[in-house]
Amino acid sequence: MSARLIGAVLAFALFAADQAAKWYVTGPLGIDQLGDVHYVLPFFDLRFTQNFGISMGMFQATSDTARWLLVALTCGIAVVVTVWMLREKKLADVLPLSLILGGALGNIRDRVQLGYVVDYADLHFGAFRPFFIFNLADAAISIGVAIMLARALFVRDKPDQPADQSAETIR
């Protein structure tokens, strides 16, 4: 199976898992109103919130126009990520892009359908909250970006052809 196909399957699976998790939290668990909380562990709760912005609540969409501009912007980013992913050949380059794409699609669907993104995962240590409340899509996007940054900063791919062979072909 090609790296691109694996990436497309992963992006779709992540999108489906994100939507299933949001459905489970807001449906069967009934955590669907602001203030609703389900205590899971001493450091992790399921806490319903509506995110009208993007990462960390920036660029709040306070009107229908702003909402649809955010949808258009995130769709544009998803298209760029898709084209980028389809141009890559190595699985190590495709996988983080597929995480970003799958997460973006999950959040885009929420914003189109609901007008906001459903966030529910609340990681905390006592009163200390190192993250804003997030969802599976947000986590996938963050992990994908972190992997891409780490690869860009620390991994040097080997050239396709050793330097000795290329010098011989020139002679």
Q: Where are the alpha helices (DSSP H) in 27-171?
A: 64-87, 91-114, 136-154, 163-170
Q: How far, in Å, CA of 92 to CA of 89, rounded?
A: 9
The structure tokens listed for 157 are 């791919």
**Rounded CA separation 44/47 (Å):** 9
Catalytic residues: 119, 138
- Show Cβ contacts of residue 47 under 8 Å, excluding neighbours closer than 6 positions: 31, 36, 37, 38, 120, 122, 133
